Amino acid sequence: MSAVSPAGGTPDLDARPTPYHRLATLRPAWSAWGRPLLTVVAAVIAYVVLASVLLVLTILVLALAPGVNVAIGVTSGDPTSPLDVGIALAMGALWWPAGVVGVRIGGWRPLGPTWSVAAGLRRERLRSTGLLVVLAALVVVAAAALAGGLAGTGADGASAASGSSGADGGALILQLLLVVLLVLVLVPLQAVGLELALRGLVLQAVGTWLRSPVIGVLVVAAIACIGREATAAVMIPALAVALAAAVLAWKTGGLELPILLTATTTGIALIVSAFTAGSDAGAGVAALGAAVAAPGTSAAALASTEAGPAHAGAALAGGIAAAVALLVITAVIVVVVSRREGLRLLEPVGRAADEPIPDPVLI
Structural domain total, the chain: 1
Q: Which sign does the torsion angle of CA 58, 234, 99, 192 carry? A: negative
Tens digit of pLDDT for each residue in 61-89? Answer: 878 876 555 544 444 567 888 888 999 99
- Calculate the average pLDDT of the chain: 86
* pLDDT value at 324 more than 90: yes
- Average pLDDT for residues 95-102, to the nearest whole number? 96
Per-residue burial over 249-285, b if 16 or more Cβ lie within 10 Å, else e, is: bbbbbbbbbbbbbbbbbbbbbbbbbbbbbbbbbbbbb
Query: What residue spans of 253-311 are helical by DSSP H?
Result: 256-275, 280-292, 302
Residues 6+ apart with CB under 8 A from 238: 224, 225, 228, 290, 291, 292
Q: Does the residue 12 lie in any domain?
A: no
Tens digit of pLDDT for each residue in 24-35? Answer: 999 998 989 999
Cα 332 to Cα 20, 42, 191, 326: the distances in Å are 20, 36, 22, 10
Q: Does the residue 354 lie in any domain?
A: no
Q: Does the residue 156 lie in any domain?
A: yes
Q: Does the residue 7 lie in any domain?
A: no
Q: Does the residue 45 lie in any domain?
A: yes
User: pLDDT category, 363, cuts 50, 70, 90?
Assistant: low
What spatial distance separates the first Cα and last Cα of the chain, rounded to whole Å? 30
Q: How far apart are CA 124 and CA 290, in angstroms?
A: 31
Q: Does the residue 241 lie in any domain?
A: yes
% residues pLDDT > 70 (the chain) = 86
Domain residue limits at 185: 18-349
pLDDT at 64: 80
Q: Exposure of 149 by Cβ count < 10 A (0-12 exposed, 13-18 middle, 19+ buried)?
A: buried
- Dihedral in degrees, nearest 10, Cα atoms 87, 98, 134, 332: -130
pLDDT at 223: 92
Q: Does the residue 4 lie in any domain?
A: no
Tens digit of pLDDT for each residue in 123-176? Answer: 999 888 999 999 999 999 999 999 998 887 665 555 555 555 555 777 778 889
Q: Does the residue 99 lie in any domain?
A: yes
pLDDT at 154: 63
pLDDT at 58: 87
% residues pLDDT > 90 (the chain) = 63
* pTM for this model (two decimals): 0.89
